[in-house]
A = this chain, B = another copy of it.
């Protein structure tokens, strides 16, 4: 692909009010002290309360991003919701967000993209094609995930890993002279792993009005199979991704992997030889936030000053599908 000049103008974060540390979750689930940190690498996480919906969290994050960019909602040309979880089967997520901001009549197009954990990468990749400075000058991407309602206490590995959080990102067209933009992006889907990560019930395959049980509506993950297939596919994928850019992995200033699990992060750091000054890891403090993990790690890197204007950055992850995906850009 050719260079796509775009600029991440601002980001906004919303974390649910309720913070739950691993010690109290271990008590609740009857797990040994220290089991969660050892197994999943997670120290604490946020869970929504009864008032916090996906649209509410997404709207709060978007308002913060708009404030930082000194923009109004009406300055956007498009709102993409790129979450893997949803408030309602119908309508889709994006149209609920302006409503939460009290904006009922803006006419800004709102639609959803779903590639589960890779949602942000897919949406940013897509935005880089849409942003032409004419029809599209400013696009907002919202990732707002609620995993906590679909956790199964009988499956402590996933019940202590997945969490809730929202991030909004404003991406704008910019001139090629600025040097900011997408250098390369890609995604590969291997449907042999389509059922490795799933919530079985709630759609038409197992409709909620048919005979179901509690666990049908909760996350189920074949963790080892996901790791095996992900490891096998991500190495050639990364090689292909970098074959089209004039940078080596070691040149990248900031590397943002999906915060899938401790095992996945450890594996990736080792196999790709990421230096600790390159890699961003927020798993311990936030858990796996589905599609919000990558933009939340990006937000954290920007806030801490680890990612500076002009730096190169790699987003890289896996998703239910099973997909591998990544994007190299200049911030």
Contacts and interface: CB of A to CB of B under 8 A. Distances in A.
Given A99-B194, A111-B114, A201-B208, A1 B135 contact: yes
Question: Which of A79, A115, A194 is most buried by chain B, counting CB atoms within 10 A of its CB?
Answer: A194
A209 B105 CA distance: 34
A199 interface: yes
Given A111-B113, A112-B113, A146 B204 contact: yes
A197 B91 contact: yes
Q: Count the copies.
A: 2
B202 A94 contact: no
A210 to B, nearest CB: 8
Given A107-B188, A198-B88, A212 B208 contact: yes
A189 interface: yes
Contacts of A320: 90-92, 95
A198 B91 contact: yes
Given A149-B209, A201-B208, A208-B202, A92 B108 contact: no
A203 B203 CA distance: 10
B88 A200 contact: yes
A214 B212 CA distance: 13
A230 to B, nearest CB: 13
Contacts of A146: 204
Nearest to A195: B91
A55 B86 CA distance: 20
A160 interface: no
A98 interface: yes
Interface in A171-217: 186-192, 194-195, 197-209, 212, 214, 216-217
A247 interface: no
A34 interface: no
20 contacts: A2-B132, A53-B204, A85-B204, A88-B199, A90-B219, A91-B198, A94-B189, A99-B192, A104-B191, A106-B189, A108-B188, A109-B188, A109-B323, A111-B113, A111-B115, A111-B187, A112-B112, A149-B207, A202-B202, A208-B208
Given A98-B189, A126-B130, A150-B204, 20 more contacts: A1-B134, A48-B204, A53-B204, A53-B205, A54-B203, A54-B204, A54-B205, A79-B189, A84-B90, A84-B92, A89-B199, A89-B203, A91-B320, A104-B192, A105-B192, A107-B188, A108-B188, A113-B113, A126-B126, A149-B207
